[in-house]
Amino acid sequence: MTEDDERTLAPLPPHPVRDALLRLFAELATVTSTEAARRLGVSSGLCSFHLRQLARHGVIEEAPHRGGGRVRPWRLRTDAPDAPEEAAAGDGTLNRALEDESYRHWLENRDRAPGEWRRDAAFSEVLHLTPDELDEVAGALRAVLAPYRDRRGRPEGAAPVAAVARLFPLLVDLPHGR
């Protein structure tokens, strides 16, 4: 593994510009460094740097675009790994940190949201599952969300909503061997 590979796989520390960029992706399907700079009030060079960092860590990718020139639109990656081995090989630290930060931001600022948006549907459950059932539940949750994620266009009144599910063993009384 080269030094470059090690830097790419290392967790990406939180940064206010990256956080703002990711919130911008929640609002817009694609973003260029110029557009991000204009909306965030920072330089396009700074946005470009952080967009490349997010891409290098597998969070975003270049979006297809029509036209020429130096326009380089980016979009969030939607091809998250499904297999546990693939997920373990990737670094989900950034995504988890962004989820946590987004939820903290929501809790601290929800009183500023319009009345109809001042609620959330957070819940948690402790389930007793086999490893195969854990995969089955994860697949079922993805299937429930798929029609909303993959639809074209946005219905009137729609806004970005984070859907976060974390399925993991609690490491208490795990059966040994398999």
Options 3.30.70.2860, 1.10.10.10, 3.10.580.10, 1.20.1640.10; CATH of 1-77: 1.10.10.10
Q: Compute the mean pLDDT over every residue in the chain, rounded to the nearest whole number.
A: 77
Q: Is residue 122 helix, strand or coil?
A: coil
Provide the pLDDT for residue 48: 92
Give pLDDT tens digits for 133-175. Answer: 999 999 999 899 888 876 777 788 888 787 888 888 887 766 6
Is pLDDT above 90 for 36? yes
Angle, CA 95 vertex, CA 12 and CA 61 arms, to 5°: 80
Where are the domain boundaries for CATH 1.10.10.10 in the chain? 1-77
Give pLDDT tens digits for 94-110. Answer: 566 667 777 877 888 88
Q: State what percent of residues in the chain have pLDDT above 70.
A: 74
Please tell me the distance from the alpha carbon of residue 33 to that of residue 14, in angstroms, as a whole number.
Answer: 19
Q: Cβ neighbours of residue 72 under 8 Å, at least 6 residues apart?
A: 32, 33, 62
